[in-house]
Chains A and B, each alone.
Chain A
Amino acid sequence: MSERTENVSRHKLNVRKDENKEEMVQQVITFALMILFTLIAFSMVILDISSYFIKPTLLLLAGVQVAFQLFYFMHMKNKGHFMPTIIMFGGMTIALATIITFTTIIWW
């Protein structure tokens, strides 16, 4: 391999490493936010905040954490994830219908 192509491929490798590093930084920030949301959720329950909104708030915090996990940790925000996104949203739609059915029609 000539020196020039060697340099080009080394340059590509460095660019790639920088991209990976950037993604890693985003993932660490995501992790910090997930820990924060967990702390908020647990302290809301431990401090016994009695409010009409506590249940929806806890569910919302969980939903955001799951979105972080799927899009950042499992890379669903990246290119080439069209099929996984369709499959997961399809699964989640059925999942929601299942939960609604079980809690409202089958047992009550």
Chain B
Amino acid sequence: MSHDDVLNPKHMPHDPEKATLEGKNKFVGFWMFLGGETVLFASLFGTYLALSGSTSGDNTPENLFGLELVFIMTMLLLTSSLTSVYAMYHMKNHNFKKMQLWLGVTVLLGLGFLGCEIYEFYHYIHEYGFTFRSSAFGSGFYTLVGFHGGHVLFGLFWITSLMIRNQKRGLNLYNAPKFYISSLYWHFIDVVWVFIFTVVYLLGKVG
């Protein structure tokens, strides 16, 4: 049996993402990365929490944040998490076309989220003069929320390139782990956002 036959079996196994040694390694390795990311984001959250009281002028969390936009962003990201679950459901049923379709929807929702975030930052900078350098609160805020936004951007590039690269190949045991860990990454982005909307926006409004 050649290497190609191993990766393209007649009957796909139950968990195509963990059927090969490479897949298993990717799976554990990626979880290690996520454990590290948890600590990384914790240090950004810690910095933000410690500095969010050091404001300048009227630009306090209470005055700046508008919950309507944050609510829309939350719904977009939360729904995109569900659509990537749908994509992985179709992967497990070996339905490549439907998986691609739901990954596409996930990417669109992620783009919507990113658009809202860019609008939000633009609004703060031009309407309020609230920038990275205006106060320690500003630095903490843009570092934390911007770093999360950077993760969203990277996730979009990642999923889109996987979709394009594998479009003609179809699903096999070589690319199934790749699709699976990209969806784990996307869920992790949502995990971080849940804490951002709670700690930064909601608790910021409560004061």
Distance to closest chain B CB from A72 (angstroms):
8
Residues facing B in A78-108 (CB within 8 A) are 80, 83-84, 87-88, 90-92, 94-96, 98-99, 101-103, 106-108
The CB with the most chain A CB atoms within 10 A, among B74, B187, B195, B202, is that of B202
The secondary structure that dominates the A interface is helix
Residue contact B31 to A84, C-beta cutoff 8 Å? yes
**Complex CA–CA separation, A88 to B203 (angstroms):** 25
Which residue of the partner chain, among B31, B82, B89, B206, contacts A55 with CB atoms under 8 Å?
B206
Partner-A contacts on B (CB < 8 A) = 11, 14-15, 18, 27-28, 31-32, 34-39, 41-43, 45-47, 49-51, 67, 71, 74-75, 78, 81-82, 85-86, 89, 92-93, 184, 187-188, 190-191, 194-195, 197-199, 202-203, 205-206
Cβ contacts A to B, 25 pairs, < 8 Å: A24-B89, A27-B82, A27-B85, A31-B82, A34-B78, A35-B75, A42-B67, A42-B74, A45-B202, A58-B206, A62-B194, A62-B195, A66-B195, A73-B85, A80-B15, A80-B18, A84-B31, A91-B35, A91-B38, A94-B39, A95-B39, A95-B42, A101-B46, A102-B43, A107-B51
